[in-house]
Structure 1
Amino acid sequence: MNSVNLSSNLERCWDIIGVTGDRSCSQLPTYAHCRNCPVYSAAGRQLLERPTLENYRHEWTQLLAELRSVENSPNSSALLASETLKVVIFRLQREWLALPAQIFKEIASPSQIHTIPHRGNQTLRGLINIRGEMLLCVTLNHLLHIEAVNTTMQTVSAIAHSRMVVVEKPGNTWVFAVDELYGIHRLHRQELRDAPRNQTQAYAQGIFSWHGGTVTYLDDELLFTSLARKVQ
């Protein structure tokens, strides 16, 4: 491309006669795009190799030292404990449970579940169509050892409907039914208490108080790992 003074920010040939300019550069047919031109590459090298600004290293050294000081501080655990958790609360039978909100991909109405030949077990229910995609449908009741009850459960919302929820982590997507879905709730990590020892709480990271009762905050990593193992 035509030679320009690369030291001047106002004379960037790619913005004047190149692809983002009037495209009058005589070398444009040869290189097709400015990013393939030696002049453009030289400008990039000049930008990366420019001298650091005064006090640049000092400012970054000071900032990193402050961060390291916070990490090593006796109060660092208190700072982590104040982290806000965003969870989705739902009910299975009488149990109120929660999972991290970021793993929830979709909420759907109940629909037909198609059984998989020769793949029957108490955790895997079959395949379900979610927006044209066939996904594995499981039951958490069996995995978490939640027993069915015949008595009427007091609901939180005025109208409680069962729902199918889709949860997803990289490489794994599961669908399961819930008896009632409350929605998103925020809490501080310090609100979590140790869960009592029983079969359901084996998957718990902790419990927290909510609406006069308790909610079990499930370990999503352990849950996904167990589901993958159970449906094999």
Structure 2
Amino acid sequence: MNAEYCWSEIGIEGDRSCDRLESVGHCINCPVYHEAGRGLLNREIPLDYLQEWTEILAQPPEAQMGTLSTAVKQDSLKIGQGTTLSAMVFRLGSERFALPVSILQEITRPVPIHTLPHRSDDLFLGLVNIRGEILPCASLSQFIGVEMPIDPTYSRINLRRMMVIGQQESRWVFPVDEVHRVYRFHPDELQKPPVVIAKAHQSYTRGIIDWQDKKVNYLDADHLLNTLDRRLL
């Protein structure tokens, strides 16, 4: 089997028969997945791409900026034409949510949460150690107003995970009841959230996507992270 595609055949997006899943929790944490990614990054540069950048860098600095600005505008136009969005679908209680893959840094099995005196509460849970780095941990279900089931056996313990999200200096960890898979969809598929949903989740929902006959709340990652930083740090 081609290692570049094992994630979609026997991994998290396939039949999940891979014997590594039990130990790594998700393909994104697997060394085979990492090696496949490195292979893509280290592949030979296409000649037309190399020629394009050679021509750009041969221009004066002012001309370079103009050329790059035009290229960015052209790429932006393509977003509404054929580009798909990638989001990680996960579960909190009985509801499904999704966040852009671009802000997802890691998915790990639950680790101990260290509470802080006079700081930790139902929203700010405390600090966690992720691969030697201390990161803040918050309850996303409390933050966006998800009603969790009273029965603690509702969520299978072996499915629970922690998601590490953010960019650069702003990173957060939050527990989830289950991580499903990466789902790709076209921007046109994003539906407007019902008024009830928008109120319940404090307007953190950008829209609704259909996934496996279920409604998934696609969250506004930037708004979510900015508000977390303002309220809890």
Q: Is the 8 A contact 1:91 1:179 kept in 2?
A: yes
Deviation at 1:213, TM superposition (A): 1.3
The equivalent residue for 1:113 is 113
Distance 1:162 1:149 in 2: 15
SS state of the match for residue 185, structure 2? strand
| Closer, same or farther: CA 143–49 of 1 in aligned 2, 3 Å | closer
More helix by share: 2
* Partner AA of 1:176 in structure 2: F
Output the TM-score relative to the length of structure 2.
Answer: 0.62
The alignment status of 1:214 with 2:220, answered yes or no, reads: no
| Closer, same or farther: CA 81–130 of 1 in aligned 2, 3 Å | same
Q: Is the 8 A contact 2:122 2:142 kept in 1?
A: yes
The equivalent residue for 1:179 is 177
| Closer, same or farther: CA 150–48 of 1 in aligned 2, 3 Å | closer
Distance 2:175 2:80 in 1: 33
| Closer, same or farther: CA 200–127 of 1 in aligned 2, 3 Å | same
Q: Percent identity?
A: 36
Deviation at 1:176, TM superposition (A): 0.4
SS state of the match for residue 128, structure 1? strand
The equivalent residue for 2:201 is 200
List per-residue Cα deviations over 1:33-87 (Å, max 9, x = no partner). xxxxxxxxxxxxxx9699xxxxxx9xx99xx6x998x89xxxx6x9615431001
SS state of the match for residue 165, structure 2? strand
* Partner AA of 1:124 in structure 2: F
| Closer, same or farther: CA 117–189 of 1 in aligned 2, 3 Å | same
Q: Is the 8 A contact 1:121 1:231 kept in 2?
A: no
Distance 1:175 1:138 in 2: 6
| Closer, same or farther: CA 177–48 of 1 in aligned 2, 3 Å | closer
The equivalent residue for 2:167 is 169
Bigger mean CA offset, 195-204 vs 137-146:
195-204
Q: Is the 8 A contact 2:145 2:202 kept in 1?
A: no
- What are structure 2's unaligned runs of at least 5 residues? 1-56
| Closer, same or farther: CA 140–67 of 1 in aligned 2, 3 Å | closer
Distance 2:223 2:101 in 1: 16
* Partner AA of 1:213 in structure 2: K
Distance 2:227 2:203 in 1: 12
Q: How many residues align?
A: 166
- What are structure 1's unaligned runs of at least 5 residues? 1-46, 51-56
| Closer, same or farther: CA 81–119 of 1 in aligned 2, 3 Å | farther
- Max Rg structure: 1
1:12-161 equivalent positions in 2, closer than 5 A: 80=80, 82-150=82-150, 161=159
Q: Is the 8 A contact 1:122 1:142 kept in 2?
A: yes
Q: Is the 8 A contact 2:166 2:225 kept in 1?
A: no
Output the TM-score relative to the length of structure 1.
Answer: 0.62
The equivalent residue for 1:26 is none
